[in-house]
Amino acid sequence: MANRRLKVGLIGTGHIGRLHAEDLARRIPNADLLAVADVFVDAAKRCAERLGIPRAVADYHAILEDREMDAVVVCSPSDTHGQIIVEAAAVGKHVFCEKPIDYHLAKIDAALAAVDQAGVKLQIGFHRRFDPNFRRVKQAIEQSEIGQPMLLHIISRDPAPPPIDYVKTYLQHGGSLFLDMMIHDFDMARFLVGSEVEEIYALGGLPVSAQTAELGDLDTAVVTLRFANGVIATIDNCRRAVYGYDQRLEMFGSGGSISVGNNFPNAAILSNGERISRDLPLHFFTERYVEAYTAEIQAFVDAILDGRPVEVTGQDGRAPVVMALAAQKSVRERRPVRLSEVDG
């Protein structure tokens, strides 16, 4: 499809939607963002005006019904993702969808079945796979630079808890820390290890937010994963790291190890008679992963135009949800949980 441009509509102009809209409008040379939709139509209009997008609508069905559109980017609330995927597939639209596909496996399976039946492409928004640092770790594993992988440790901590209304919303639909925050780390662990998780043991606490405790979610958790190929992984999450967005990782193998540290706004190190110090890490995900967000959308557009598979499939989107459900069950029952117990 030489010289063809992908015609795209975007659904949901919240924080992540605006980020993707900016990439599509300004940084993806072979895509045309023709319309944005949001139930809060004023938000859609502001987004369209700022980025020069031709149309802004309240009802996303106007995008699905537009025969000019090749694909949709779904950034609406998580509980709407599955239904929009089904509807988009039914009218032959390719879909990029933010995580998670849904909080419930039955709805995920219905969405994946619709995509398969329609023969359209579905890419899930696990942007960390496109981060240059984590891609270098993947390369080291694939090229046996550290020998046989044995242990993986992922640290992922946010600078501050999300607004309590946001927590209330995802809890109302069956979400949790594991499905909202740690789901990225579940995906990264599976991506790097290259195997499926068999068993999970999770511990959680609430040292950060009394309001979160009242709602019944966690704000701090540690999870141990046992993979089918023998690798053991640990993930730790916390909703508040006072020093900024903490994103670190180490893979240890029989022939060495490879690690990724935090990204900083500059490389300056201050040394004087009192201390050696540097500025705090980049503050949050839109700063830390700006390149990765652009790269994942570019990969989606290229996969459609070039007629090749997407890099993050619907099954890649399903697997971390199963892991999250197992982690929730493990916390409740205070025991290791096999994934087959929640995905029988």
Q: Output the six-digit token pair for 133.
A: 């640092």
Share of the chain above pLDDT 90, in %: 94
Kindly report, residue by residue over 17-35, the tens digit of the pLDDT. 999 999 999 999 999 999 9
Q: pLDDT band for position 193 (50/70/90)?
A: very high
Amino acid identity of 338?
A: R
Per-residue confidence (pLDDT) for residue 1, from 0 to 100: 46
Q: Which domains does the chain have, with CATH numbers?
A: 6-120 (3.40.50.720), 132-282+320-341 (3.30.360.10)
Chain mean pLDDT for the chain? 96
Give the span between the Cα atoms of 6 and 304, in whole angstroms. 8
The edge-to-edge listing of strands for the beta sheet with 94-98 is: 55-57, 31-37, 6-11, 71-74, 94-98, 122-125
Give the span between the Cα atoms of 329 and 150, in whole angstroms. 26
For residues 75-103, average pLDDT: 97
Give the span between the Cα atoms of 64 and 232, in whole angstroms. 43
Model-level pTM?
0.95
Beta bridge mates, 222:
203, 236
For residues 322-329, average pLDDT: 98
Q: pLDDT band for position 213 (50/70/90)?
A: confident
Give the span between the Cα atoms of 322 and 40, in whole angstroms. 32
CB 146 within 8 Å of CB 121: no
Per-residue confidence (pLDDT) for residue 210, from 0 to 100: 86
Kindly report, residue by residue over 99-143, the tens digit of the pLDDT. 999 999 999 999 999 999 999 999 999 999 999 999 999 999 999
Q: Output the six-digit token pair for 240.
A: 């508040």
For residues 267-289, average pLDDT: 93
Per-residue confidence (pLDDT) for residue 286, from 0 to 100: 87
For residues 171-185, average pLDDT: 94
Q: pLDDT band for position 209 (50/70/90)?
A: confident
Share of the chain above pLDDT 70, in %: 99
Q: pLDDT band for position 94 (50/70/90)?
A: very high
Per-residue confidence (pLDDT) for residue 2, from 0 to 100: 53
CB 225 within 8 Å of CB 233: yes
Q: pLDDT band for position 344 (50/70/90)?
A: confident
Q: Is the pLDDT of residue 77 over 90?
A: yes
Kindly report, residue by residue over 134-167, the tens digit of the pLDDT. 999 999 999 999 999 999 999 999 999 999 999 9
CB 249 within 8 Å of CB 188: yes
